[in-house]
Amino acid sequence: MQHLVDSNDFSDKQIADLLHDAKKFKTQRPIQLLRDKLLITLFFEASTRTRSSFEVAAKRLGASVVHLDPSRSSAKKGESLEDTFSNLCAMDPDGVIIRHKENGTPRLLADMQMTSVINAGAGNYAHPTQALLDLFTLVEHFDGDIQGKTIAIVGDILSSRVASSAIRLFTRMGLNVLLVAPKPFMPESTLPKYDKLEDVLDKVDIIMSLRVQLERHKTELFKDYDDYAKQYCITRERLKDRDILVLHPGPVMRNIDICDAMLDDPRCKVLTQVKNGVYMRMAILKLLLLDSNT
């Protein structure tokens, strides 16, 4: 039984296979490879993209999906997370896709070895399927030539599970990663750190902008997010005609993370990331539910 808690659960060969399968699924109508499989989604935090993308991916491959809404489950009556999970596993799903505010939850459930656990975002620690779909988007855009490319991750890096997973996966894949953030949003890291966006614009091939995660802040770090935007919002005026790819995992806070005009600019790949997310998640489900069991 294989789990996906973070991308380091996958070997280099498995990541290469995922990229190959995602590309294949994007270009060919997929066959119903998972038609006898059942997945359960269990999202303790809100989601637009990840939950629906997993559901679309599973259904495109013929799998069935059941969603348990924790806000209407017996968790509300005091049932523990482990008991909720064990009871779902008693129904013999082939995998549980979980999002949770605690960093350690996916590993805790995976270690129970009851079904394949797929991390759909945990705390500020890991969002591996986002990192993998972003890797696919980069490989597709640069036609495989990503070694040595430089990416700046910009914004609320400290709170971001997308950034944590991206840093681990992108450095492993040979990209140079720079961190750009105001001091309160900067994590401990040996990577190059900048507090001014202007200082990296001539060094980078890619910018990954991140949402300011107000819900994870215990204190108000900025009085005024317009002030934050003046320094860190990705705008056409800032990028000028530089050939820089702009990514964002979503949800985008318009005109704080990325301005309206930049979201319509062909250099901005936000919706391509969402589209690619379905194909990468199809590849991930195939790997976990089919390939790793043979």
Burial code of 139-174, b = ≥16 C-beta within 10 A, e = fewer? bbbeeeebeebbbbbbbbbbbbbbbbbbbbbbeebe
Cα 215 to chain centroid distance, Å, stands at 18
**Least CB distance to ligand CP at residue 269 (A):** 13
**Least CB distance to ligand CP at residue 53 (A):** 8
Cα dihedral 90, 7, 270, 219, rounded to 10, equals: 80
Cα 164 to chain centroid distance, Å, stands at 10
For ligand CP, which is the closer residue by CB, 33 or 248? 248
For ligand CP, which is the closer residue by CB, 155 or 249? 249
**Least CB distance to ligand CP at residue 280 (A):** 12
For ligand CP, which is the closer residue by CB, 216 or 238? 216
Closest CA to 41 of 79, 67, 21, 73: 67
User: Applying CB under 6 A, which residues contact ligand CP?
Assistant: 47-50, 121, 130, 249-251
**Least CB distance to ligand CP at residue 65 (A):** 15
**Least CB distance to ligand CP at residue 46 (A):** 7
For ligand CP, which is the closer residue by CB, 121 or 155? 121
For ligand CP, which is the closer residue by CB, 128 or 249? 249
Q: Tell me the pairing of strands 206-209 and 176-180.
A: unpaired
